[in-house]
Amino acid sequence: MFTLLYLLTEIMNKLRDDEKQLEQMKAEHTAQTDSVKQLQLKLNSTEHQIHELQTVTSDQSSKLTKLQTSVNTSASLQGDLNTGRDIELSATMLRLNVTERRLDELMTQNTVRAAELESVSDRLMAAQRRADELQVRLNQLRASSEEGGELRVAFSAGLTDSGSVGPFDEETTLIFSKIITNVGEAYNQTAGVFTAPVRGLYVFSFTAADYVKGYMGLYLYKNDQPIVFSLDLNDHGGYASTSNAVCLELEEGNRVHLGLPASYRLYDDSRNFSVFSGFLLFHL
């Protein structure tokens, strides 16, 4: 009897232990189930995030594809533009080269024509001088023939009625345009040059005036050679003058004139402050 009770008691205790273990297992199962649910929720959330990321990635890929296409299109357009610019630049350079060659040709032609014109001008001036000399000689021969005696040559001419002459940037031939006398027509009032009609001894004189402070002066030339330089310093600012005279042995056709140096000036008016004169003293 005691043994049976003991066994029953052991069995009951075992049942209680099993029930506790079962309850504990149920509790653990419930906890695991909750954990599984939580994991499932997390998994679902993660899958949703992955899906969203896939969508975003797909959108980004699409945008990237469009951007790449746009870049390729831009590169193609840039290439076309560069090609067009290169073609236009080449055409412009070609036109420029042609224009430069044409300009060089025109400049060469212009230089040649300028040289030809200068040569013609020099010949024309020489011919004009020779014609003037021949005309002077003819007039003198006529006068000498009409008078039946020796050739007479003498002249005097005033400078100007207009006041100041000069200063100039370079030496200038003075043109004494007011003829006082011109026997034998050897002095050319247009050019300001005396031309010897015959070989002989000639006398030339001049007077030049000014009224401004500073140096005044002028050269007397035989052909292109300076023979006399007359200089004076006007240090008071009133009227001042300088004079000179010279005898020259001239060959037929030799020329005599007066030159005003650069930066110098003279003065003359109707009172004839500045006068150039010359005459044939005798034949040689």
Q: Output the DSSP codes for 200-237.
A: EEEEEEEEEEE-SSEEEEEEEEETTEEEEEEEEEE-SS
Determine the average pLDDT of the residues in 14-42. 75
Residues 6+ apart with CB under 8 A from 158: 176, 177, 178, 180, 268, 272, 274, 275
- The predicted structure's pLDDT at residue 146: 45
CB of 143 closer than 8 Å to CB of 184 = yes
As a whole number, the mean pLDDT across the chain is 80
- What are the start-end ranges of the H helices in the chain? 2-147
DSSP 261: P
Helix (H) or strand (E) holding 221, with range, is strand 214-222
159/218 Cα distance (integer angstroms)? 13
CB of 230 closer than 8 Å to CB of 242 = yes
Q: Which amino acid appears at position 89 of this protein? A: L
Structure tokens at 192: 């300001």
Q: Which amino acid appears at position 245 of this protein? A: A
Residues 6+ apart with CB under 8 A from 137: 197, 252
The percentage of the chain sitting over the pLDDT mark of 90, rounded to a whole number, equals: 35
**Choice between 45 and 155, residue whose per-residue pLDDT is larger:** 155
**Choice between 205 and 19, residue whose per-residue pLDDT is larger:** 205
Q: Which residue in 191, 173, 257, 262 sits closest to 223, CA to CA?
A: 257
**pLDDT > 70? residue 138:** no
171/260 Cα distance (integer angstroms)? 6
**pLDDT > 80? residue 28:** no
**Digit-coded pLDDT (tens) for 172-210:** 999 999 999 999 999 999 999 999 999 999 999 999 998
Structure tokens at 208: 């030049």
- The predicted structure's pLDDT at residue 9: 78
**pLDDT > 50? residue 106:** yes
- Give the SS3 label for residue 106: helix
Structure tokens at 196: 């010897």
pTM of the model: 0.50
**Choice between 259 and 8, residue whose per-residue pLDDT is larger:** 259
